[in-house]
Structure 1
Amino acid sequence: MQLFVKSLAGNTLALEVTSSTSVENVKSMIAAREGIDADFQCLSFAGKSLQDSEALALYGVQDNSTLHLNAELLGGGKKRKKKTYTTPKKIKHKRTKVKLAILKMYKVDESGKITRLRRECPNATCGAGVFMAKHKDRQYCGKCHLTYVFQKLTLLATEGVSHVDFTRIPFPARLAFAMTINKAHGQTLDSVGLYLPCHVFGLGQLYVALLRVRSHGAIKIMIPDDISIVENHAGSHTHNVVFKEVFNNPS
């Protein structure tokens, strides 16, 4: 049967082959006529690449069929430019080596007496040899998280344009957690403390605060005695303004 091959130059080659002829033999015929080495040839038919060891009949090649010849070339990929970074992507942490670091925890005088410069943690879980970190306003144990806060002095500011003296007393303890009632909407808290120095006249504020906890024992309320006294009522009370529908229809 006659077979046509579309060459690289655009010419059409006519070859006499049989259906049992292998692809490798076809490449040898093309190499003899075009001078292209068989190792660089790539034949395709109907969108499929032909393997050297297979016969033409396996790919459905019939009489007067046309094969397309391509050449395998190296390269073809886009050359990527190497990026240069002026600064490192991540700065590695370097531990500063302190010479004679033991002298920061102990002091040796001329007589040979050893004095501790840092406080040992008194907690039973830490034991001896665990020193507390020294900060400007506190001492902190990194193992059990015990913290001692230093009592600060009262600061009196007399300088300035204003003729009024301002007194500021730094709080000796750190506040753990606090929020206003408006910020508590939609949150469930483990414990809530309410300080009511006056009657609650806001709409539903006390009602919202009581709904933030899961049980009665999780809420503590502090009301001064002069505020909690309500006429014709015994015990501690506070006025609160809510809609009656809240109690009639709690669902």
Structure 2
Amino acid sequence: MIFPIGDDNVKGGHYPFVSYTLLAINIVVFLLQLSQGDQQGQFIMEYGAIPAEVTQGQRVYTLITSMFLHGSVGHIVGNMLFLWIFADNIEAVIGSTRFLIFYLAGGLVAHAAHIYFNMDSQIPTVGASGAIAGVLGAYMIMFPQSQVKVLFLIFPFRVPALLFLGFWIFSQFQYGVGSLQIETAETDGIAYWAHIGGFVFGAVRGFSLRNEYIRSLKRGFREEDLVD
């Protein structure tokens, strides 16, 4: 199995306060979720986003609260790993306030994509995956040559962000298309269309953010300011 363990970081820019705060909040909420014990399922039903309810205008607040819930330890570890690796460069360039707005907007677009294919679903959607997929989409456009450090078994190596993230979204799209052949667009507990929707949003937004990044390079950043 291949998974990322680091990347090239932008030297200077804004401190990734929001990225680290989001990471901490997700962990705290997950611990709170675990503390519910036998009531954890009820907790998820209360704060997870249920498409059939949201489409009826009910409990719309869950579109936000669900972004901070996770279904398992593996779920949150994977999400927080990607958030920790890829979010800081974007926040360094666009600033903390704009990054928070971007992150939440990506999560909402991800919800919209998932709900579109699951309007009658009573299954609660949880996780930061959609919002983080938006981060990945923007990162691929803004920093395509950044080297992502990945680990295969015990062997570390580097690949360009364009290749790593391009392969990731390609695999999500394959699973998403495959899911349309069954009753729900959510398979194996994974909302693939939420990932796709968030990623597309991030990639589209990434083009304008990339232009801002280029202008910031001219004001002081340089491509070689990407450091380990």
| Structure ID, larger Rg | 1
TM (normalized to structure 2)? Answer: 0.21
The structure carrying a bigger helix percent of its residues is 2
Greater relative contact order (Cα 8 A, min sep 6): structure 1 or 2?
A: 2
